[in-house]
């Protein structure tokens, strides 16, 4: 492949990090996970994350919270995957984080005011007006499109992911940014809108 910045324009960080290598098979994603972990000296494997339209899309031997008689938050599911190495399957019936359920379209938003009050009660934003503004700007997936979320350690993932989530420190993030800028010569911009969870995972 020609080392031309145009080839990498608007591509994800990992695309530039791997020199433009296309990922098609599970092995490609597993190799990426191992490459990232070894090169960046990550404390845990990056995560492969996929939104599924049916529970049948969960891979074989996926760990399900309901089979353990428990409901968990999304970030707890991510923690189980990256720290223990499980492939986790989460549906609305297995999650107890209302904002995530709504924003991922797993349940329908029935009362906008109650949703705003929930954020106010958790003290996520300084004032009611700022809370309303933040909620109105939150990206949401259409209700009913997806039935759940599959999470698997990228280095031995059982799923072809929609995205990879990397837990890293500032020095490791710098390496990823440098790899991208090296190929594109362009600054990296990221969306600032987010929901911060108080659960440490």
The C-alpha atoms of residue 151 and residue 187 are separated, in whole angstroms, by 30
pLDDT-derived band of residue 26, with 50, 70 and 90 as boundaries? very high
DSSP-H helix ranges across 62-187: 74-79, 98-103, 112-121, 128-137, 170-184
CB of 97 within 8 A of CB of 69? no
| Tens-place pLDDT, residues 113-172 | 888 888 888 888 999 999 999 888 888 888 989 999 999 999 999 999 998 999 999 999
Domain ranges of the chain: 1-42+168-189, 45-108+143-166
Percent of the chain beyond pLDDT 70? Answer: 84
Please report, in angstroms and rounded to a whole number, the separation of the first and last CA atoms in the chain.
39
Q: Look at 84 and 9; give whichever has higher pLDDT.
A: 84
Give the model's pLDDT for residue 185: 86
Band the pLDDT of 1: cuts 50, 70, 90.
very low
Q: Which of 166, 149, 151, 150 is nearest to 32 (CA)?
A: 166
Highest mean pLDDT, choosing among 7-11, 28-32, 136-140, 187-191: 28-32
- Check whether 25 has a pLDDT greater than 80: yes
Paired tokens of 105:
């379209």
Q: Are 77 and 100 in contact (CB under 8 A)?
A: no
Residue 191 has pLDDT above 70, yes or no: no
Chain mean pLDDT for the chain: 84
Instruction: Decide: helix, strand or coil at residue 74.
Output: helix
Of the spans 13-17, 68-72, 140-144, which averages the highest pLDDT?
68-72
> Strands 47-52 and 148-153: what pairing?
antiparallel
Rounded to whole angstroms, what are the CA distances from 121 to 96, 125, 153?
16, 9, 34
Quote the tokens at residue 151: 């999470």
Using the structure block, give the residue that is written with the tokens 């933040």.
Answer: 134
């Amino acid at each position: 492949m020609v080392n031309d910045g145009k080839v990498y324009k608007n591509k994800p960080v990992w695309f530039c990090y791997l020199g433009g290598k296309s990922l098609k098979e599970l092995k490609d994603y597993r190799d990426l996970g191992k490459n990232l972990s070894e090169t960046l000296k990550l404390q845990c494997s990056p995560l492969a994350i996929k939104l599924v339209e049916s529970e049948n899309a969960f891979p074989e031997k996926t760990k399900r919270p309901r089979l353990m008689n428990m409901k968990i938050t999304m970030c707890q599911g991510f923690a189980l995957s990256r720290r223990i190495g499980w492939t986790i399957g989460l549906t609305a019936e297995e999650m107890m984080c209302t904002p995530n359920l709504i924003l991922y379209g797993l349940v329908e938003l029935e009362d906008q005011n109650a949703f705003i009050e929930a954020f106010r009660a958790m003290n996520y934003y300084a004032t009611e007006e700022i809370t309303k503004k933040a909620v109105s700007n939150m990206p949401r997936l259409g209700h009913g499109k997806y039935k759940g979320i599959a999470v698997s350690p990228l280095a031995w993932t059982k799923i072809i992911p929609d995205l990879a989530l990397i837990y890293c420190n500032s020095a490791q993030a710098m390496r990823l940014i440098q790899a991208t800028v090296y190929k594109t010569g362009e600054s990296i911009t990221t969306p600032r809108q987010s929901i911060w969870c108080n659960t440490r995972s």
